[in-house]
Structure 1
Amino acid sequence: MTVNSRKNVLVTGAAGFIGTHVVRELQKAQNGYDIVALDDLSGGFIENIPQGVTFIEGSVSDMNLIADLFSKYSFDYVYHLGAYAAEGLSHFIRRFNYTNNLIGSINLINEAIKAETKCFVFTSSIAVYGAIEPPMTEEKTPHPEDPYGISKLAVEMDLKAAHSMFGLNYVIFRPHNVYGEYQNLSDPYRNVIGIFMKQIFEGQPMTIFGDGEQQRAFSYVGDIIPMIAQSPMNPKALNNVFNVGADRPYTVNELAKKVANALGKPDHPTVYLPPRNEVGIAYCDHSKAKSVFGESPHTSLDDGLAKMAAWAKSATIRPLKPFTAIEVEKNMPPSWLRYLESD
Structure 2
Amino acid sequence: MKGKIGVTGASGFLGNNLVKDLANEGYNVVAFGKESERNFEHPNIEWKIMDLNNFKKEDLNGIEKLIHFAGAYNANDAFSKNVTMLKKVLEASSRSELKYFYLISTYGVFGDRKYPAEVGTPYHPLEAYAMSKVMAEEEFKKIMSSASFKGIIVRPCSLYGKYGRNFVDIIINKMKKNEEIQMVHFKNQFLHVDDFYAAIKKIIEEKNSQPEYNIEGEIITEEVLKNIFEELGIKYSLSNQIARSYWCKGIGVPLTHTVRDYLKKAKEENDI
TM tier relative to shorter chain: 0.7 to 0.9
2:255 counterpart residue number:
298
Q: Aligned ranges for residues 210-229 of structure 1 at < 5 Å?
A: 212-229=184-201
Q: Aligned ranges for residues 1-343 of structure 1 at < 5 Å?
A: 7-30=3-26, 33-40=27-34, 45-47=36-38, 49=40, 51-52=42-43, 53-60=45-52, 63-64=53-54, 66-67=55-56, 70-74=57-61, 75-86=63-74, 90=75, 93=76, 96-180=77-161, 182-184=162-164, 190-206=165-181, 208=182, 212-238=184-210, 240-251=211-222, 254-255=224-225, 258=228, 266-269=233-236, 280-286=244-250, 289=251, 296-299=253-256, 300-306=258-264, 309=266, 313=270
| Secondary structure at the counterpart of residue 184 of structure 2 | coil
Change (3 A) 1:225 1:160: same
Q: Deviations over 1:184-232 (max 9, x none)?
A: 4xxxxx41111221222133333x4xx6112211112222212213423
In 1, the alpha carbon distance for the partners of 2:6 and 2:138 equals 21
Change (3 A) 1:195 1:23: same
Letter in 1 for 2:115: P
| Secondary structure at the counterpart of residue 136 of structure 1 | coil
In 2, the alpha carbon distance for the partners of 1:109 and 1:311 equals 45
Change (3 A) 1:104 1:279: farther
1:332 counterpart residue number:
none
In 2, the alpha carbon distance for the partners of 1:114 and 1:141 equals 31
Give unmatched runs, 5+ long, in structure 2: none
Q: Deviations over 1:14-41 (max 9, x none)?
A: 12222123212312331xx321222336
| Secondary structure at the counterpart of residue 120 of structure 1 | strand
| Secondary structure at the counterpart of residue 127 of structure 1 | helix
Give unmatched runs, 5+ long, in structure 1: 185-189, 291-295, 315-343
Letter in 1 for 2:101: F
In 2, the alpha carbon distance for the partners of 1:230 and 1:50 equals 25
In 2, the alpha carbon distance for the partners of 1:226 and 1:213 equals 30
Q: Percent identity?
A: 19
In 2, the alpha carbon distance for the partners of 1:312 and 1:19 equals 25
Tell me the TM-score normalized by structure 1. 0.68
Q: Is the 8 A contact 1:249 1:283 kept in 2?
A: no
In 2, the alpha carbon distance for the partners of 1:47 and 1:149 equals 27
Q: Is the 8 A contact 1:223 1:245 kept in 2?
A: no
In 2, the alpha carbon distance for the partners of 1:192 and 1:110 equals 35
Letter in 1 for 2:58: S
In 1, the alpha carbon distance for the partners of 2:156 and 2:269 equals 22
In 2, the alpha carbon distance for the partners of 1:306 and 1:196 equals 12
| Secondary structure at the counterpart of residue 212 of structure 2 | strand
In 2, the alpha carbon distance for the partners of 1:126 and 1:54 equals 31
Change (3 A) 1:168 1:161: farther
In 2, the alpha carbon distance for the partners of 1:134 and 1:301 equals 22
Instruction: Please report how far the alpha carbon of residue 298 of structure 1 lies from its aligned counterpart in structure 2 after TM superposition.
Output: 2.1
How many pairs are equivalent? 268
In 1, the alpha carbon distance for the partners of 2:228 and 2:172 equals 11
